[in-house]
């Protein structure tokens, strides 16, 4: 299967204070198309830093980060913004929906930035919101929806750009057990049926149980990498 994410000798040092923090200490990693992967580890292990660098939200101090064969560490800021819009979907713990926009408008927004036609935007938005079980909530704003519904909108928005993969940073942290399980089962179904690649940063055992690959970080290094039977 094709490699969608590859890091080589990836390091990240935060040196804003008197005492530099080595968040990543030389991470070598490959993620293939269609994986459902959880990156886990104790607080301070480097998992969120790794996710942010993979997503082009932060830059490494040393090493290489390749997404779909493109070394994104050497893109300009504007090139990186454009690359993220076209290639990477994000699902955050805090949903990050635009509160004044409806569910439909939140999902459609990324496609507006991509200059897709109105007909394509409408068709894909409605298809995705139906896919995540919110066909009857398209005209609701985030404040009119539950946390689980908002996170489903966030998943639909992440898929809207037809990304190479989706990065999910603690996506279930603000959800109750039943809602989190339902959301994860939906994402796992998308992974199995459509081959959508998901990479999670998580403490949540519910995510870890469903993952087919679990990468454990300790002190900025990969401590273990477990591939499970599909």
Question: What is the domain partition of the chain in residue ranges?
Answer: 3-227
pTM for the structure as a whole: 0.92
Contact 224, 27 (CB under 8 A): no
pLDDT band at 17 (very low <50, low <70, confident <90, very high): confident
Distance CA 21, CA 8 (A): 20
Q: Is the pLDDT of residue 11 over 70?
A: yes
**CB-CB neighbours of 112 under 10 Å:** 11
The mean pLDDT of 91-95, rounded to a whole number, is 90
pLDDT tens-digit profile of 37-85? 999 999 999 999 999 999 999 999 999 999 999 999 999 999 999 999 9
Q: In angstroms, what CA-CA distances link 88 with 27, 83, 228?
A: 20, 8, 25
Contact 102, 138 (CB under 8 A): yes
pLDDT tens-digit profile of 154-207? 999 999 988 999 999 999 998 999 999 999 999 999 999 989 999 999 999 999
Q: Quick one: 3-227 is in which CATH superfamily?
A: P-loop containing nucleotide triphosphate hydrolases (3.40.50.300)
Q: Is the pLDDT of residue 123 over 70?
A: yes
The mean pLDDT of 31-42, rounded to a whole number, is 96
Among residues 134, 156, 132, 139, which one has the least CA distance to residue 104?
Answer: 139
- Looking at residue 209, its pLDDT comes to 95
pLDDT band at 16 (very low <50, low <70, confident <90, very high): confident
Distance CA 67, CA 4 (A): 6
């Amino acid at each position: 299967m094709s490699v969608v994410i590859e890091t080589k000798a990836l390091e990240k040092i935060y040196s804003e204070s008197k005492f530099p923090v080595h968040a990543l200490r030389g991470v070598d990693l490959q993620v293939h198309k269609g994986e459902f992967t959880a990156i886990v580890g104790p607080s301070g292990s480097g998992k969120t830093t790794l996710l942010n660098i993979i997503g082009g939200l932060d830059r490494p101090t040393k090493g290489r980060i390749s997404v779909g064969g493109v070394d994104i560490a050497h893109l300009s800021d504007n090139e990186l913004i454009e690359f993220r819009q076209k290639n990477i979907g994000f699902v955050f713990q805090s949903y990050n929906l635009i509160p004044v926009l409806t569910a439909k408008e939140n999902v459609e927004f990324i496609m507006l930035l991509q200059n897709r036609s109105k007909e394509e935007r409408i068709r894909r938005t409605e298809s995705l919101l139906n896919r995540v079980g919110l066909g009857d909530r398209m005209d609701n704003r985030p404040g009119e929806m539950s946390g689980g519904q908002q996170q489903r909108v966030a998943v639909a928005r992440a898929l809207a750009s037809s990304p190479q993969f989706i990065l999910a940073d603690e996506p279930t942290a603000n959800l109750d057990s039943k809602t989190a399980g339902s959301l994860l089962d939906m994402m796992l179904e998308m992974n199995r049926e459509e081959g959508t690649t998901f990479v999670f940063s998580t403490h949540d055992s519910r995510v870890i149980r469903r993952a087919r690959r679990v990468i454990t970080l300790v002190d900025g290094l990969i401590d273990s990498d477990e591939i499970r039977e599909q």
